Structure 1
Amino acid sequence: MLNFCESTPLSSIIYHPEQRVSANQIQINYDSFGDTNHPPIVLIMGLATQMIYWDRQFCQLLASQGYWVIRFDNRDIGKSTWLDSLPTPSSLALLTNAVFRRPLGAAYLLSDMMEDTLGLLDALGIESAHVIGASMGGMIAQELAIHHPQRVKSLTSIMSTTGNRKLPKPSASFSLKMLKSPPKESSKAVAYGIQLWRLIHGEHYPFDQQKILSLINQALQRGFNPKGNTRQLAAILDSPDRTIPLGSLRVPSLVLHGADDPLVPVACGVATAKAIPNAKIKIYSGMGHTLPSQLYDEITAEILDHIKATNS
């Protein structure tokens, strides 16, 4: 396992402030850590979650081993383009999709969000990168590896799934707690956000309420777009199962998952690893659907060992 004692001190990691670039006919907002001449790592965040939830320390730990680490806002969130002219599914449409599997007619799919990531790589002059995705970001990363394997040096899929809707779902008790509709007013978003993050974090690792409160307030200042969150959800629900195409992957792949993930059960991570030939899997006891700061060293070391094994 990697020894961070031999790495560059985190305080000396170069930070490149946020900026926007044109990618796939929209504007993508990003920032980065480390020397831009180093091999790139691209981080793709999950549903309704801005790039800032890739914790700065997490990014610095990856960059400390000689990598250029890039995080960005997906479409319809944060400071990237909001597609407000596109339709948003109603609550009734989401309900009928859940019960009857009726297509939502999503404004875009995960494959379109994958093209955003590809466009960002093009805009930054990156031929290929180590790609890490969390939750929905893992789905987008899988799409990129499936459709553009030559652009992906390695794949890390974190707390994600294959898109097979027959896989286990959240428990009934957890789903009942999640039934409360997200607020449409930013004034109510803080209390809702704290409640949601506490739920998905789980009970094993301490919940850092002050840190999450700070991130929620920062996210609200960067942009509050509930309809965009719903359009992202529709993209997940209307996108096809990736199980069969994942079977054709030859990209070195790592799957990370929490044993106590209440939102995307660990069986989904196991199914992802089984679908990808020669994929490695690491399951973290006590971890929910977040990346606990107590595991940053262990998780980033696991990822970096995986990346370094590709010799690129």
Structure 2
Amino acid sequence: MESNGISLCYEAIGDAADPVMLLIMGVGEQLIAWPDGFCEILAGHGFRVIRFDNRDVGWSDWFDEAGDVDLAGLAAGDLSTVRYGLSDMVADTVGLLAALDVSRAHVVGVSMGGGIAQQMAIENPELVASLASIMATTSDGKAGGSSIDNAAALLPQPGADREVAIAADVALFRLIGSPGFETSDAELIRRATAKVGRAYHPAGTLRQIAANATAPDRTERLRTLETPTVVIHGDSDPLVELSGGRATAEAIPGAELLVVQGMGHDLPAGAWKLIVDAIVANAAKA
């Protein structure tokens, strides 16, 4: 689907006549990171669920011609290799809705996708019927920090072969996943194998990391929102700590905060019903 001058890959689940629930994924993750079962539960509540690959991942357009990111330079304050920002990704998302002839959607974002969803509500409030921000923060730099000491474990490995890439993804989600919910090694391997088999694009992930890391603080603009909002965060998230969710909920007038006990930086199957119920209840306020 053409959006904002680029091609985005999307999938729709549910009745085409139902209100749209748009799902926006986080850094480096493809649309399949929204579990089928999770999407089907949402659709069962009377929504047409749309999940898609952000730019630079999966089957959407890649931005390799823009050049690589110098992460060391970025850490030192050199922004010259930041290739695009979250507002560009918001424009992609808005373009996707326009291409699908959707004038208004319930928007759900995870991690960086939560930041995109927040920014979308700020820039295009008329498009966002309700907002669910999951395991995200306001980009103020004072909340939602990481407790992970080994930052290298969070980065993809350019040039890695298939087995190394799969093993790295499994290790990543063992590191950032939910200690309060059991996920078997077999399930983590299945997910990682599906991701790598579908599309493995470390350079795009690094460009997304740069976009997310340099996003401006949204706090003051979030205070202007009138969008029904639920903020969902795990109390055991080591990548974006719970303070990020609390800061988001405090910034948005009337926002509700759901803290999921034992949830880390993933969507564990044991928490799907709780999360979906909160999203659906919030959407009903629109």
2:149 is matched with 175
* Partners of 1:238 and 1:181 in 2: CA distance: 17
Cα deviation, residue 264, structure 1: 0.2
Aligned match for 1:186, one of 153, 161, 175? 161
2:17 is matched with 37
Cα deviation, residue 178, structure 1: 4.6
* Partners of 1:104 and 1:162 in 2: CA distance: 23
* Partners of 1:104 and 1:133 in 2: CA distance: 28
Cα deviation, residue 27, structure 1: 0.4
- 1:160 and 2:136 aligned: yes
* Partners of 1:156 and 1:225 in 2: CA distance: 28
Aligned match for 1:122, one of 94, 98, 101? 98
Identity %: 39
Cα deviation, residue 175, structure 1: 2.1
1:219 is matched with 195
Count residues with an aligned counterpart.
284
* Partners of 1:277 and 1:180 in 2: CA distance: 33
Say if 1:227 and 1:251 are closer, same or farther in 2 by CA, change over 3 A: same
Q: Is the 8 A contact 2:156 2:205 kept in 1?
A: no
* Partners of 1:161 and 1:234 in 2: CA distance: 16
- TM normalised by structure 1 equals 0.88
**CA-atom RMSD, angstroms?**
1.4
* Partners of 1:120 and 1:138 in 2: CA distance: 17
Q: Is the 8 A contact 1:162 1:241 kept in 2?
A: yes
The amino acid across from 2:194 in the alignment is Q
Say if 1:181 and 1:281 are closer, same or farther in 2 by CA, change over 3 A: closer
- 1:140 and 2:116 aligned: yes
Deviations 1:184-207 (A, max 9, x none): 223210111000011111422112
- 1:106 and 2:106 aligned: no
Q: Secondary structure at the match of 2:259?
A: strand
Larger of the two Rg values belongs to structure: 1
Cα deviation, residue 167, structure 1: 2.1
The amino acid across from 1:299 in the alignment is I
- TM normalised by structure 2 equals 0.96
Question: 5+ unaligned residues in a row in structure 2: which ranges?
Answer: none
1:22 is matched with 2
